[in-house]
């Protein structure tokens, strides 16, 4: 609230006037691991997003996945030469997309599953010690049930994987 004083009040005002200040709503642009767990149903060992570093409501999210040698897939993929499976890279992109989808006002709180995966290409290997930067942008939403996103996973500025991800809201 702002109060008009003699210095900023109109000359004809005998009594100070109270004016309501308008403030834009605060938009959250980052999410911690704990906040992500409130939005997504995934848990260890399948929660593949450590934090969201940039979020634009209804448009995109950028997440981080720190790849560590302690993850359960590495002893078997591959012994002596750990390599993150491509399907897990795609799943990590999808989980970042889930952050965008679950917060759309008309779809808030829904459970989204894969409806399709198109044009996915793997461009570089992802190994323990890498940090995946996962960028997912909303392309469209149809019938308040389906969504399509463009996803990209990068390591050190190099594209590791990219493609289109489709989601369906299930009840």
> CATH number for the domain including 54?
3.10.129.10
| Residue 98 to residue 79: CA distance in whole angstroms | 32
Residue 8, domain member (yes or no):
no
Residue 49, both tokens = 């997003």
| Residue 114 to residue 147: CA distance in whole angstroms | 10
Residue 50, domain member (yes or no):
yes
Q: Which domain holds residue 79?
A: 25-170
- Is 42 assigned a catalytic role? no
Residue 30, domain member (yes or no):
yes
Residue 144's pLDDT is 82
Spans of the chain, pLDDT less than 70:
1-24, 109
Residue 24's pLDDT is 66
> Would you mind telling me the total number of residues written for the chain in this entry?
171
Residue 133, domain member (yes or no):
yes
Residue 31's SS3 state is: strand
Q: Which stretches does DSSP call E strand in the chain?
A: 2-3, 18-19, 51-56, 60-66, 111-122, 131-142, 146-155, 158-170
Residue 127, domain member (yes or no):
yes
Residue 158, domain member (yes or no):
yes
Catalytic residue among 42, 51, 77, 145: 77
Number of domains into which the chain is organized: 1
Residue 13, domain member (yes or no):
no
């Amino acid at each position: 609230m702002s109060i008009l004083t003699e210095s900023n009040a109109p000359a004809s005002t005998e009594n100070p006037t109270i004016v309501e200040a308008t403030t834009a709503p605060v938009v959250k642009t980052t999410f911690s691991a704990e906040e992500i767990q409130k939005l997504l149903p995934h848990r260890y060992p399948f929660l593949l997003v450590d934090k969201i570093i940039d979020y634009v409501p209804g448009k995109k999210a950028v997440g981080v996945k720190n790849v560590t040698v302690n993850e359960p897939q590495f002893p078997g993929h591959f012994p002596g030469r750990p390599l993150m499976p491509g399907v897990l890279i795609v799943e990590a992109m999808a989980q970042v997309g889930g952050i965008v989808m679950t917060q759309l006002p008309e779809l808030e709180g829904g459970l989204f599953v894969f409806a399709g995966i198109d044009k996915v290409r793997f461009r570089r290997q992802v190994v323990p010690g890498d940090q995946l930067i996962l960028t997912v942008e909303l392309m469209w939403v149809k019938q308040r049930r389906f969504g399509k996103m463009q996803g990209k996973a990068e390591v050190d500025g190099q594209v590791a994987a990219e493609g289109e991800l489709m989601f369906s809201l299930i009840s």
